[in-house]
Amino acid sequence: MGRKNEIASELLNRGIECVNNDDLYSARRLFEKTISIDPHYSEAHYGLGLLYLILGNKAAAMKECKSLEKLNSNLKKKLANHINNSN
């Protein structure tokens, strides 16, 4: 794994930890930073999409779902299900 991938992976893990600790602002920043380092990191797009749903921003979640179309069809389907089941 290259250094860039290691950094992106670490940022993603820190973002997930922030979500688990209800630090949603930091989680968003970390997911966005992960994507800026590796725009093809599907798990970061998925995490950011879920976070947007938690924050009530369905349009932004749908944008992340669209990003997943070409990256990871399984995560795209999972995020789409969450979006469709959200209020």
Q: Which residues contact 51 (CB under 8 A, 6 or more apart)?
A: 19, 24, 27, 28, 31
What is 3-85's CATH number, 3.40.1710.10, 2.40.37.10, 1.10.1060.10, 1.25.40.10? 1.25.40.10
The pTM (predicted TM-score) of the whole model is: 0.93
> In this predicted structure, what is the pLDDT of residue 4?
77
The per-residue pLDDT string of the chain (87 residues; one tens digit each, 9 = 90 and over) reads 577 789 999 999 999 999 999 999 999 999 999 999 999 999 999 999 999 999 999 999 999 999 999 999 999 999 999 999 986
For residue 1, the model assigns a pLDDT of 54
Q: Write down the H helix ranges in the chain.
A: 3-20, 24-37, 42-54, 58-68, 73-85
Domains of the chain, residue spans: 3-85
Structure letter (DSSP) for residue 86: -
pLDDT at 2: 73
**Cα first-last separation, the chain:** 39
